[in-house]
Amino acid sequence: MKKLLIIALINCARLNGQTNLVINPDFEDTLICSSNPSVTKATSWYSPMRYCSPDYFYPTMTGNFGCFAMYPQDWGGGNYVNLWGRQTPNSGVAYIGFGVAGGNELVGGRLSDSLKPGKSYEVSFYTSLGETYYNQGAQGLDLIQFCFMRDSLVNYDFINFWQYLGTLTPTAGNQSGNLLTDTSGWTLVRDTFVASGGERFFVVGNIDTANTMYYNSPTPTFCYYYFDDFDVHCIDCTSDTSEPPVFPVITISPTLTQGEITVSGDFPVGTKLEVYDVLGQLVYYDELQSGNQTQTVFLQLSAGVYTCRVMAEGNVLKTEKVVVGK
């Protein structure tokens, strides 16, 4: 009954204008990653570390073929029974899991809008400790935290693929000393913070490893947790009656190319070019020089349809479909 009351209060808050900014917060929106329709990934979620592989749990998944960055492992399967234990979703039919101890793994997500400077935000998620790790017993910890930033903290190239960038500082998360040990149900973690402004991406995991406390282990150890139903909403935001921002005119051409495109416009500082494939996966990323100019970009991509997006300060300045021919 208490759990239902908490959910009802959160839903009521959203009705009063406190919109959840997390895209696909419950992992129900999926993309098919191969010809096998049972192999899916969670839309708008990603792995911010090169050797990081968060797991996507869905009733019908069977393997890890073709799902890059967030994919079901071989040990996932029907009825939500996997190597880490057994858990049903907190809501819907899907959830994720990953090893969080010592920064072992992280998971990243996107917000539907950038955070406003000086405004207070509440973050929350549900988590459950996996009861087994190769049958050695459940080992848990206290610090599972959010870190919000203006970019995704990853870069993509064709030699090293995903590269982790930057240093993380926790923004909000579970209270220190509050060990997360429930293996049968879902625990609600909730916290608040004041935004610096412009943050559009976030990662979740055990970020402050130096001050982490462990359950069932005197030293740092591997800990596996399931996650569901993320929420980030503004507490003290009011309706914005100011004039909408005026963005510079940006052009991307040609729309049919062998791989070379030009991007023209008066670019603000920090402008980025992002290219996504038809599955919504980021396949190219580049920083554009600021100022009024034209820049040539060589997309070393296979033939297909791609979406090019120019971003600055969390705002989309231009979106263009580009067809790369053979």
Q: What is the pLDDT of residues 6-47, one digit of tens each?
A: 333 333 334 344 789 998 899 888 766 555 555 567 778 877
CATH fold of 251-324: Immunoglobulin-like (2.60.40)
Task: Say if residue 225's pLDDT is above 80.
Answer: yes
Task: Say if residue 182's pLDDT is above 70.
Answer: yes
Which is higher by pLDDT, 188 or 207? 188
3-state SS string for the chain: CHHHHHHHHHHHHHHCCCCCCECCCCCCCEEECCCCCCCEEECCEECCCCCCCCEEECCCCCCCCCCCCCCCCCCCCHHHEECCEECCCCCCCCEEEEECHHHCCCEEEEECCCCCCCCEEEEEEEEEECCCCCCCCCCEECCCEEEEECCCCEEEECCCEEEECCCCCCCEECCCCCCCCCCCCCEEEEEEEECCCCCCEEEEECCCHHHCCEECCCCCCCCEEEEEEEEEEECCCCCCCCCCCCCCCCEEECCEECCEEEEEEEECCCCEEEEECCCCCEEEEEECCCEEEEEEEECCCCCEEEEEEEEECCEEEEEEEEEECC
Which is higher by pLDDT, 279 or 293? 293
Task: Say if residue 284's pLDDT is above 60.
Answer: yes
- Start-end ranges of CATH 2.60.120.260 in the chain? 2-234
Q: What's the pTM value of the predicted model, to 2 decimals?
A: 0.65
Please tell me the predicted confidence (pLDDT) of residue 159. 46
Task: Say if residue 70's pLDDT is above 60.
Answer: no
- Start-end ranges of CATH 2.60.40.3080 in the chain? 251-324
Which is higher by pLDDT, 135 or 229? 229
Architecture of domain 2-234: Sandwich (2.60)
- Would you place residue 263 in the very low, low, confident or very high pLDDT band (cuts 50, 70, 90)? very high
For the chain, what is the mean pLDDT?
77
